[in-house]
Structure 1
């Protein structure tokens, strides 16, 4: 594994700079009509689950609640863990590890933050292609739901 090095400002010694993946969250928001997907304002463009980066000092659950509010204007509840997705190639912008939650919400979703658009899709009629590894995440979600595990 290759490492980059920084220089210590006090003594000039080389200090190892570890490259670590960035933690993110994604949320499958369940409404009566289906699940909420956002149309991304930034690259990569396309449809995706609401989500984003975890802030330093923030709990994963808090990040999921915050990101859901910022991107959909929905207050979510009944947060349940679907799983963690860590393929280094899941995001072309860098190595991000996503903790994925399933949540309930009520109300009318509205696109916000970095969402250019938003739509509620029935599980049987999801748009293609989905960004990142969200097609795999939603396939796992369908399977767990069919098995009664969610």
Structure 2
């Protein structure tokens, strides 16, 4: 029996309107921007995986705030069926690309490079921005 692989994504906020994206250094989507994240290792909780991946890819220690959503479209990753649990988190400091991230950069939510995002991250970031606007009472 084949089952999907489990991944995590972490939307890291440095301020109310800024977040961290990483430029992928490896295929798939090499050179594209992505939400920090990766595969959950055996014996690891999804929360532990989220904190580990954030640290490995951005150099930032994060405080998880909550769960944004679960993303399970079988075609979301060209390598095969993955299910991603996406967390929101806060951090401070300056991000530095590491692990398989060629670069880590802070973006204002109005300047997210939607034309060059990996996987289904445009959908995830749209959901995140909608959640922020709902919290702030903005439509």
TM over 0.5, shorter chain: yes
Shift of residue 118 of structure 1?
1.3
The aligned residue for residue 19 of structure 2 is: 35
For the pair 1:25 / 2:2, whether they are aligned, the reply is no
SS of residue in 2 equivalent to 1:75: coil
Partner of 1:61: 47
Larger relative contact order, structure 1 or 2 (CA cutoff 8 Å, min sep 6)? 2
The structure number with the bigger radius of gyration is 1
- The more displaced of 97-106 and 72-81 is 72-81
Task: Give the Å deviation of 1:79.
Answer: 2.8
Per-residue deviation at 1:20? Answer: 0.6
Q: Residue 6 of structure 1 aligns with which residue?
A: none
Query: Match of 1:141?
Result: 128
Residue 129 of structure 1 is matched in structure 2 by: 116
Name stretches of at least 5 consecutive residues in structure 1 with no aligned partner.
1-17
Q: In the comparison of the two structures, how many residue pairs are matched?
A: 132
- In structure 2, the partner of 1:118 is 104
From the two aligned structures, give the one with the greater helix fraction. Answer: 2
Aligned partner of residue 116 in structure 2, secondary structure: coil
Alignment RMSD (CA, Å): 1.2
Whole-angstrom distance in 1 between the partners of 2:64 and 2:123: 22
Q: TM-score, normalised by structure 2?
A: 0.92
Deviation at residue 26 of structure 1 after TM alignment: 0.3
